[in-house]
Structure 1
Amino acid sequence: VAHSTLTDRAKGRHISLKEASKKKQILAPEAEKALLDWAVQSGETGLPYSKLSLRSHASALRGSIVGKRFHEKFEARHPILKKAKGSKLDPKRAKHFNKAVVDDFFDKWEELNTTHSGIPPEHIWNMDEKGIQMGGGRKGNGRKFYFSREQAECFRISSDNLELVTVLECVSAAGESTRPSFVLKEGILPDLRDLDHELIYRTESGWTDNHHAAEWIEEVFLP
């Protein structure tokens, strides 16, 4: 190591490699942080950035077009970002999939649990529904989007006009489960001879609705 380098470091004139690289960045530090915050928030709300949209926003902040490899250097500077395809999330469902709604649910759950001095595991149930596109649906194009590494579930708001079948399942914290049920779109009924007909529901869209949800509770869950 050169003597001048050691002397400069001792006198505080030598800056770290990270600080030196900031001077080479095409975005000001404030703009860089704003872009990172936007990318993280967009991923959390189901509208993640692709590499093209990231470069587009960076260009808007800079006032001129950034290079084609800007996204690669941006990723390297911010390891909190990860790239993933993202599971598709219907726009109608996305309205109820946000931090405020989720926090409110867990606040109410904690209050309910405290009020009843702890709810037994066998009385705690999780009901979920999974939509399946007939024939497997359209294959994705392999594009990936930016999400925070702290984000466990990566969703991307997307709407496909393909016929759906909804599968209903329900499992308790004690490990018990109900029989799976199916919601089919109205129309020609497929061969269901191997299934109990009371577990089959028909709706106009193939999704559940309030009426069929009430039927499911009475006919499947409560018994």
Structure 2
Amino acid sequence: MPPTESALDLDPFDDSLSQEERMDHAIQAIKENPKRSQCAVAKFYQVPRATLGTRLKGVKPRAEAHEYQQNLSNAQERVMVEWVKVRARRGVPMSLALLGSYAAHLCGRELGATWPRRFLDRHRDLKLKLTQSLEACRAKALNSKNVNDHFDLLESVIADYNIELEHIWNMDEKGIQLGIGKRMTALVDRDQKSVYSVQSGNRDLITIVEAVSATGRALHSSFIHPGMKRDLRWAENNPDNAR
């Protein structure tokens, strides 16, 4: 009989799993119990039965066997995938064109126009999604799931890097400007529900910045004005001693 979901703690119908990841789980299931039917296991994990059989005989996957022919190694592509996800979460997502530019810089040669699309096809845990302006995203973002996800991620980063409270700061900025940025199609993690793009725009902008640490220490407010030189009038009527 095929392995049960509870036995392996795996949902084989998770669309974020690539075929290679499902194949790895299928191989592991057979190795754990050689009496299991290869046909049933292949059906359970939604992988080709013939491919599962050849992989169990030691035949390498195509991507690994032909790695020397690829523009980027498998390790480089995995790093690129994680970098795409990190940028999307930080609000500076990558377009297909930018992905191709990064990859060309990494491998040291020009890549074909279809390379970014083929990269996306190889990594099913990524997808294309239209970005939203940061302000539009903020209007939808305050819900329990997003808040819980944020603090779960924050706690894991603090624990992983042993960050002291005095080094944890919350910074908020408010930009006063005319116009908004255009939407773009960007690469994101398949599990990411929304993606925003932080745009500076090409109009005059005044930015107000405040920062408070986890210990309660607060920096002076900062006002950032456009211009090559400082105007002394900016400091007039300044009870908060903003800078």
Same fold (TM over 0.5): no
Structure 1 or 2, whichever has the larger Rg, is 1
TM-score bucket (shorter structure) = 0.3 to 0.5
Which protein has the bigger helix share? 2
Tell me the TM-score normalized by structure 2. 0.41
Tell me the TM-score normalized by structure 1. 0.44
